[in-house]
């Protein structure tokens, strides 16, 4: 029984080290600049979509507001969290004349200020804004 706990702890430590190494790789040097430039290019290409993602730190945790345009009606929003990375995908389905369907999608990835867990996430919806809240880890 003790070995199982030690194995899980060892695996968690390995995953933490890998996540830290990935963060360092994606934030440092030319590769980080390349990702920021690409994100800027993607954001400007989708400027007509006008999806905004605002991240704010509060005393009790991390809040993320995802605002979608009023034209986003018949679609899906998928939110995924892995370590410090928040992935938001919008898929919109529109029916055109003569029974044809048009689908479009957009994905944005935001690097959060610290690691959060998707299973701790609370959500609320107000008008055209989805708010995600991640309470601070009790161990911090």
Q: Cβ(57)–Cβ(113) under 8 Å?
A: yes
Neighbours of 81 (CB within 10 A): 20
Tens digit of each residue's pLDDT (9 = 90 or more) over 14-37: 887 887 777 777 666 676 677 666
Whole-angstrom Cα distance, residue 67 to residue 73?
Answer: 13
**pLDDT value, residue 112:** 92
The residue count of the chain comes to: 140
Low-confidence ranges of the chain (pLDDT < 70): 1-3, 26-29, 31-32, 35-49, 73-74, 94-102, 138-140
The secondary structure of 5-25 as a DSSP string is: HHHHHHHHHHHHHHHHHHHHH
**pLDDT value, residue 139:** 43
Neighbours of 116 (CB within 10 A): 24
């Amino acid at each position: 029984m003790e070995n199982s706990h030690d194995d899980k702890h060892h695996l968690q430590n390995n995953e933490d080290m890998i996540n830290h190494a990935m963060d360092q790789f994606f934030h440092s040097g030319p590769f980080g600049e390349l990702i920021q430039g690409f994100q800027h290019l993607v954001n400007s290409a989708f400027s007509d979509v006008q999806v905004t993602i605002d991240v704010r730190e509060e005393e009790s945790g991390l809040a993320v507001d995802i605002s979608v345009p009023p034209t986003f009606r018949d679609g899906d929003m998928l939110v995924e969290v892995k370590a410090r990375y928040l992935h938001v995908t919008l898929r919109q389905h529109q029916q055109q004349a003569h029974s044809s369907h048009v689908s479009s999608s957009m994905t944005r990835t935001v690097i959060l200020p610290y690691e959060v867990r998707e299973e701790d996430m609370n959500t609320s919806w107000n008008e055209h804004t989805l708010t995600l809240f991640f309470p601070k880890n009790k161990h911090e």
